[in-house]
Amino acid sequence: MKRLIFVRHGKAEDHDSASGDFQRSLTVKGKFVSSQMATRTAKREKGDVTIVTSPAFRAIETALIFAGVLKTGYDGIIVREAIYGSFGLDSLYRLLGEIGDERQTVMLFGHNPAFSLLVNHFHVGGRGFMPKSGVACFEFDTDRWKDISKSTATLAYFLNPDGSTD
């Protein structure tokens, strides 16, 4: 069984031409909501979790908040450039291939529109828009990352910052 968790970064500062998109930080509210979402996620995730994040500062900040709450350690966070750009299904499969089949649960931190598209790909009927700080966890009835697919996917949970869950 493989578990893939998509976490969209928290609310970030407005885009400022002086700092650019890549360096944007989470707002105070973004940090607070991300912490709440990490706590809600921790109630569901009891095993080892491998954290992989976009190199954009707001995604790294969100990943650090989750790592602290989940007690995964900060040294094990993997940063991958591919998650920042046009991250699609092919990029996801390449990334998971690099991570290796020995890792059962992978938590990805990244951006829209890519995360909404990927979550909708794996969810039968689609999930719609992935909100900031939203968490979507899929379980796949396979032991190899290369075999994950829509047909082997089950939505384990979807946590929305507004408090709703699936």
Inter-residue contact 135 to 165 (CB < 8 Å)? no
* Integer CA distances (angstroms), 97 to 68, 92, 106, 146, in order: 26, 8, 12, 7
User: Looking at residue 19, what is its pLDDT?
Assistant: 66
- How far apart, in whole angstroms, are the C-alpha atoms of residue 80 and residue 137? 20
User: Considering the entire predicted model, what is its pTM?
Assistant: 0.94
Q: How does pLDDT run across 27-83, given as a tens digit for each residue?
A: 999 999 999 999 999 999 988 999 999 999 999 999 999 999 999 989 999 999 999
What is the CATH class of 2-159? Answer: alpha beta
For the chain, the average pLDDT equals: 92
Half-sphere exposure of 48 (CA within 13 A, CB side): 7
